[in-house]
């Protein structure tokens, strides 16, 4: 029996990746998220109560599948309701039950992540995730941008312990709207443009 544990900074694509990893029919994951564009981790993620009380994992019905998926932001919540999940403790409890685990961490462009967190949470919570990383063993980092760039091929080449569904037509529907676009503006020209055209080297960027 295996479980993939996905975590990462708030707003780094946790919901996006949760949909991707819940597509395969053999995976017991966040199936309701495939029917809705967005749901709250704190109320709708299938293991939301188990993250608060790890002992509940002992009474969970593990006969439902061979493969499981769960997602948790790090930290989770906003301002005074914000809390830090014990990812290492969650994994330890699963291992004691004989369940093989793998932790993957999602990431997103640092500037966009800062803008998104500040807009919604009035602060950047990314430093809190960085402080937690040494406390649990991460096997891979997943990129929001690479998922949109390489799409099914990226999913097909992921080294994760649960099956994925890169050929599921719902994947293209999931990737239909890139939320990064609202943060990006076209640049008419840049100092390196002429360097690329002429091949003339640039010693250093001018100070702003």
pLDDT in tens, 31-76: 999 999 899 888 899 999 999 999 999 999 999 999 999 999 999 9
User: Is residue 34 within 8 Å of 73, Cβ to Cβ?
Assistant: no
pLDDT in tens, 115-130: 999 998 888 999 999 9
Lowest mean pLDDT among 71-75, 78-82, 105-109: 78-82
- Collapsed DSSP state (helix, strand, coil) of residue 87: helix
Identify the structural domains of the chain with CATH numbers, from first to last. 2-198 (3.40.50)
pLDDT in tens, 129-148: 999 999 999 999 999 999 99
pLDDT at position 53: 98
CA distance 40 to 71: 11
pTM of the model: 0.92
Query: DSSP label at 200?
Result: -
pLDDT in tens, 142-199: 999 999 999 999 999 999 999 999 999 999 999 999 999 999 999 888 888 888 888 8
Alpha-carbon distance values, 17 to 58, 59, 62, 160 (Å): 26, 27, 23, 13
User: Is residue 18 within 8 Å of 118, Cβ to Cβ?
Assistant: no
| Residues in contact with 98: Cβ distance below 8 Å, sequence separation at least 6, in sequence order | 1
């Amino acid at each position: 029996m295996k479980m993939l544990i996905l975590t990462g900074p708030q707003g780094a694509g946790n919901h996006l990746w949760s949909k991707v990893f819940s597509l395969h029919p053999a995976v017991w994951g966040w199936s309701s998220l495939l029917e809705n564009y967005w749901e709250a981790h704190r109320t709708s993620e299938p293991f939301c109560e188990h993250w608060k009380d790890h002992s509940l994992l002992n009474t969970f019905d593990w006969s439902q599948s061979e493969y499981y998926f769960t997602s948790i932001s790090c930290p989770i919540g906003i301002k005074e309701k914000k809390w830090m999940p014990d990812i290492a403790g969650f994994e330890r409890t699963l291992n004691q039950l004989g369940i093989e685990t793998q932790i993957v961490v999602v990431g997103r462009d640092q500037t966009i992540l800062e803008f998104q967190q500040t807009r919604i949470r009035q602060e950047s919570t990314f430093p809190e995730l960085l402080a937690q990383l040494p406390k649990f063993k991460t096997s891979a980092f997943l990129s929001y941008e690479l998922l949109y760039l390489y799409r099914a091929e990226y999913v097909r080449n992921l080294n994760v312990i649960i099956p994925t569904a890169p050929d599921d037509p719902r994947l293209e529907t999931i990737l239909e709207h890139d939320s990064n676009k609202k943060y990006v503006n076209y640049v008419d020209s840049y100092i390196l443009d002429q360097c690329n055209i002429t091949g003339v080297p640039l010693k250093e960027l001018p100070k702003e």
